[in-house]
Structure 1
Amino acid sequence: MMLYEKFSQVGQVISVRVCRHRITRRSLGYGFVNYTKREDAERALDDLAFTVVNGRPVRIMWCRRDPSQRTNAAGNILIKNLDKSIDSLSLLDTFSAFGTVLSCKVVCDDNNVSKGYGYVHFETVEAAERATQRLNGMLLNDQIVTIEPFRSFKDREAELATSAEEFTNVYIKNFGEDMDDNRLTELFSKYGPTSSVRVMTDDNGNSKGFGFARFESHENAKKAVDDLNGKVLNGRRLYVSRAQRKAERQTELTRRFEPESLDRGSRYQGVNLYVHNLDSDMDEERLHRAFSPFGTITSVKVMTEGERCKGFGFVCFSSPEEASRAMTGMNGHVLGTQALYVVLARSLGA
């Protein structure tokens, strides 16, 4: 009734259907509205986009029966460094000038505060390219935004794997406060030419105990890591490895502690959660971010078929108390476009 009253303001509505979970009958966070006239549906898209319904701004888009049209990343762009005042409606208003927008979203935290980035999915690649060429590097609300093509989690992970095989930048720590750039250069230059070597210092110019050495070739960088990692220097055991970005370290830690079987074995009873009603574009990075406020996550697994999420996955916590908090906090919570169904994995007979 709530949706009918809202959408009938712009035209004659034939039917309204809210999609619900087949067992719990909870709303899945999305539904369908059918109009008698196409022009009324078009007016609803223009006038009611991101209107607040039951305390949440709703996203409205054309119903597309072909799932490949919804999941195809072509025409989908990522906008970063958005001003916190820009909401989804503002983003839609800005980017719709370049072509038909299938969906648009500013990513927010649990308090509905913008995280500073969002997505716009155009109907055509050409429209996405026009928007990127025109607005990339431009000011939006006094902040320079960066626009790039959307890449799936698998694509980003493949890129990280490639960089791991071809690294030239080396991270060094635990060498003490007496180290400086010249001494570190002397230590690493014997493995091959370096383009830069630096000891990180505090505001007073004192060593922080770690630094970086960038080689001109991967072979020399690998040689330095293999030879110096674990070597004792001035009574300290050096740690030398490939330099990693924060995202790479987080992904590696997640993989390292991922159990062989996420839904079996007594050691995971009471800590492993089954998460259902995931969007088809859900990835493990996003699922990890959503559940991380409730405790220490030891593993995350999104079940996929090809490159698409099959609609469910698992999140494993370090203690039953954390898993219980997450289950209470996330069951029924809307993540993406759907309300999650979260239970202990063992309760499903796993």
Structure 2
Amino acid sequence: MTDETGKSRGFGFVSYEEPEAAKKAVDNLNGMELASGKVLYAGRAQKKAERQAELKDKFEKIKMERINRYQGVNLYVKNLDDVVDDERLRKEFSQSGTITSVRVMSEDGRSKGFGFVCFSSPEEATKAVTEMNGRTIVSKPLAQRKEDRRAHLPSQYMQRMTTTRRQCTVSTMPQTQCGFFVPRQMPKVRASPRW
């Protein structure tokens, strides 16, 4: 197929009179490497819905394969301090066993506060969870239980409020107070008719 300028669009169609001939062509041509180095794809023409269903099944199988492969060995680690990077996370968890991969998730170079540590066996991953749960790295405890975190949040909130109050003393200038604009008196606005 070519576009309106005459350039190849990279695909084409061939019709056969006999289904057996079409099947033979697909079997012989699919996956063949061309002189240009590209690999040829040959397949039966499909409707869009049929093609989407086939691709969905294919990707679902890949996803399930990946889940089964990493089941019990890939740990989700949350509540990471902003300064924790891949190497620091690897160093902290290496005591528990053989690590196959470590990844601290980040966006624009800044940590998102969570990551993944993958061990070579489920036993090592279980050991890591037992040893590392609640352990403090830099300034934050890792993966606290929800009840522990909820119990700790009110005191953390009060500590932040106290710090903020100390930093935000009422200044001599009435226009600003802790970075917020505070007008001395609201000007009177005369209502104008809407017509």
TM-score tier, shorter chain, comes to: 0.3 to 0.5
Give 1 or 2: higher strand fraction.
1
The alignment's TM-score, normalised by the length of structure 2, stands at 0.40
TM-score, normalization by structure 1: 0.23
